[in-house]
Amino acid sequence: MKITDLTHVINEDMPVFPGTEPPILAKANTLERDGFRETKITMYSHTGTHIDAPAHMMSNGLYLDDFDIEHFIGNATILDFSNEDIKFIDVDSLKPYEEKIKKVDFVIIKTGWSKYWGNKKYYEDFPSLTEEAAMWLTGFNLKGIGIDAISIDNMKTTTFDVHKTLMPKNIIIIENLVNLDAISNEYFILSIMPLKNKNADGSPVRAFSIENI
């Protein structure tokens, strides 16, 4: 069995979505003063490697704590577009993977953009789904769709059509994945367990894959 961590480290200097604030990791208690260490963590619910609930952008959408725990683990496969010079992933780009998609709970879109983490290029020009491609994916029995970029929508969007196409089908969205190159099997188990807080519109996760080798 091979386990691969697919999660970025949370720190105060990490990239965050434009308009939000980086996390604050403050020393609340210290060994010298209190005899133990404890940290006060202040951060947005969509910080780092995280998942979006339908409630993130839908007034009547489910929160993460409305889902059963099995919605956050399942069979997955990677659709690799990291070596293709494309800006948008359309239906024709996805159709060659149709038989693979039918077999899994999670699809991960590999753009290769995680290598730019910490660089301004991370926010620019990564391949993203078209609205039509997102609609096509809703025809499968998917629990979630992930990407190794900061958003599953194009960064220039003001309407977030891809998010709003997937969310009514209760397809959760996983963003800012990393280490996809380390996964060697065509199919594997993906775990993306969120924090269990009330009315969670999103949550950082410790994403990891499990492969049989």
Catalytic residues: 56
> Cα separation of 183 and 30, whole Å?
39
Q: Which of 145, 130, 132, 126 is nearest to 87 (CA)?
A: 126
The residue type of 114 is S
**Among 74, 77, 75, residue whose Cα is nearest residue 186:** 77
Coil/strand/helix, residue 188: strand
- Please say whether the dihedral angle defined by the alpha carbons of residues 95, 62, 15 and 206, taken in this order, is positive or negative: negative
Q: Is 58 in contact with 165 (CB distance < 8 Å)?
A: no
The per-residue b/e assignment along 112-130, b for 16 or more CB within 10 angstroms, e otherwise, is bbbebbeeeebbeebbbbb
What 8-state DSSP symbol labels residue 177?
-
Residues pairing with 175 in the sheet: 50
Local structure of residue 182 (DSSP, 8 states)? G
